[in-house]
Amino acid sequence: MKKLINSVDTVLSDSLAGFCAAHADILTPGGDFKFVRRRELKPGKVALISGGGSGHEPLHAGLVGRGMLDAACPGQIFTSPTPDQMLAAAEAVDTGAGVLLIVKNYEGDVMNFDMASEMSSGSVASVITNDDVAVEDSLYTTGRRGVAGTLVVEKIVGAAAEEGGDLASLKALGERVNGATRSMGVALTSCTVPAAGKPMFEIGDDEMEMGVGIHGEPGRRRVKLASADKIAEEMIAAIVNDFGERPKGDVLLFVNGFGATPAMELYLMYDSAARELQKHGIRIARSLVGSYVTSLDMAGCSLTVTFLDEEMLRLWDAPVHTAALRWGC
């Protein structure tokens, strides 16, 4: 295992310490890194809290700040955070208008956030994201995973919260954005959880995993390495077909790197994906390219497509100031 770390046991706290120090102008840690919160709260605003296992940086802590999250709870690597983290975060950032939890659809995350909601005395609602089309949403699975589309939900709902939206309307908006969002991922390599010390799976030099999530789990199918165009063709087809009746609007195309994918390759994938969307007659209104929802040191990427209605487009463009996303201010 080759990583820039001090010891397996301190990876998370060392990294969070660096993160909080590097962005001390906008955020601050709470309770021994139980959570990371926005430095300046906006009284009367619904508090947005997300969280999940670590190893997906900059998600979620890198999305804390003006126009997005009020707090993020980092769990252990690939392990959902615990209810006490969420309760502590809620207590710290709830200014009276209630708390909206944004939760990726993994049983661990959902159960822990559920327990926190049950224990909480304040008013709490949640949005569950489940944008991954690689997983069938059927009786025989736990349902689709929440992956990179979660960032889109957090951005748009975050902007609406900043504008003063109430808890119920934000929850509804979050569900609308989630419903308009689909993702799919491909991995070229596995990733290495520090505590395990070796890659999660072995994969040949000419193979890739189609339909991976963001936890180093194997994907749906192992296939021969294909060209960027072929990969984009399959992923965009899966995404577009999954929509059934297409929502209104042009789309946001979000090409997300998994942690070890150079910008050069991500932009190349953007080019391939954009051409595929065009073939399907879908127009791109906004673009985002970068490693935002990662899987430690995995090489590969995901494509996310969100149909933006007018309100969503406006909220996407609204000012945001977080460690990872910043514009308009």
Ligand X SMILES: Nc1ncnc2c1ncn2[C@@H]1O[C@H](COP(=O)(O)OP(=O)(O)O)[C@@H](O)[C@H]1O
As annotated, the active-site residues are 56, 215
* 40 touching ligand X, by CB under 6 A: no
* 79 touching Mg ion, by CB under 5 A: yes
Distance CA 27, CA 21 (A): 9
DSSP class of residue 234 equals H
Residue with the two structure tokens 């990294």: 15
In whole angstroms, the minimum distance from the beta carbon of 111 to Mg ion comes to: 12
- What is the crossing angle of helices 149-162 and 167-179, to 10°? 150
Identified binder of other proteins from the candidate list 11, 92, 153, 200, rule CB under 8 A: 200
Phi-psi region of 223 (alpha: psi -120 to 50; beta: other; left: phi over 0): beta
* 107 touching ligand X, by CB under 6 A: yes
Q: Are 21 and 83 in contact (CB under 8 A)?
A: no
Identified binder of other proteins from the candidate list 104, 145, 171, 176, rule CB under 8 A: 145
How would DSSP label each residue in 123-192? Answer: -EEEEEE--BTTS--STTSS-PPP-THHHHHHHHHHHHHHTT--HHHHHHHHHHHHHTEEEEEEESS--B
Identified binder of a second copy from the candidate list 47, 89, 170, 299, rule CB under 8 A: 299
* 136 touching ligand X, by CB under 6 A: no
Q: Are 106 and 145 in contact (CB under 8 A)?
A: yes
Identified binder of a second copy from the candidate list 73, 103, 188, 277, rule CB under 8 A: 188
The answer to whether the Cα torsion of 110, 115, 117, 118 is positive or negative is: positive
In whole angstroms, the minimum distance from the beta carbon of 42 to other proteins comes to: 29
* 105 touching a second copy, by CB under 8 A: no
Identified binder of Mg ion from the candidate list 33, 78, 254, 270, rule CB under 5 A: 78
Terminal CA-CA length for the chain = 40
The helices-and-strands tally (H runs, E runs) of the chain is 8, 15
* 218 touching ligand X, by CB under 6 A: no
**Where along the sequence are the contacts to other proteins (CB under 8 A)?**
53, 75-84, 106-108, 111-112, 114-115, 134-136, 139-142, 145, 193, 195-196, 200-201, 213, 215-218, 220
**Where along the sequence are the contacts to a second copy (CB under 8 A)?**
1-7, 11, 14-19, 21-23, 54-55, 57-58, 62, 188-189, 205, 208, 225, 227-229, 231, 255, 259-272, 274, 287, 289, 291, 294, 296-297, 299-301, 326-329
**Where along the sequence are the contacts to ligand X (CB under 6 A)?**
79-80, 107-108
**Where along the sequence are the contacts to Mg ion (CB under 5 A)?**
78-79
